[in-house]
Amino acid sequence: MVVMKWAVDTVVFDFDGVVVNTGGDIANAANYILRHYDLPELPTETIVGFIGGGAEPLVRKCLGDKADMYFEEALSKFKKRYIEHYFEDTVLYPGVKDVLEHLYAARKKMGIATNKIEKIAFDIQEGLEIAHYFQVVVGPESVTRRKPDPEAVNIVLERLGADPARSLMIGDKAEDILAGKAAGTVTCGVTYGFGSVEEIEGSEPDFIISQAADLLNYIE
**Mean pLDDT on 27-35:** 97
- Residues 6 or more apart whose CB falls under 8 angstroms from that of 115 comprise 16, 52, 53, 54, 139, 140, 146, 147
Which helix (H) or strand (E) is 214 found in, with range? none
The pLDDT score that the predictor gives to residue 53 is 85
Find out whether 218 and 188 touch, Cβ atoms under 8 Å.
yes
pLDDT at 145 over 80: yes
What does the pLDDT look like over 101-124, one tens digit per residue?
Answer: 999 999 999 999 999 999 999 999
pLDDT at 17 over 80: yes
What does the pLDDT look like over 159-206, one tens digit per residue?
Answer: 999 999 999 999 999 999 999 999 999 999 999 999 999 999 999 999
Find out whether 109 and 11 touch, Cβ atoms under 8 Å.
yes
Pairing assessment for the beta strands 109-113 and 10-13 based on DSSP bridges: parallel
Read off the pTM. 0.95
Q: Rounded distance, CA 23 to CA 26, Å? A: 5
Which helix (H) or strand (E) is 12 found in, with range? strand 10-13
Q: Which residues are annotated as catalytic?
A: 14
The pLDDT score that the predictor gives to residue 1 is 62
**Mean pLDDT on 79-89:** 96
Domains of the chain listed by start with CATH number: 10-21+90-217 (3.40.50.1000), 23-84 (1.10.150)
List beta partners, residue 6. 219
Is the Cα dihedral 131, 136, 142, 148 positive or negative?
negative
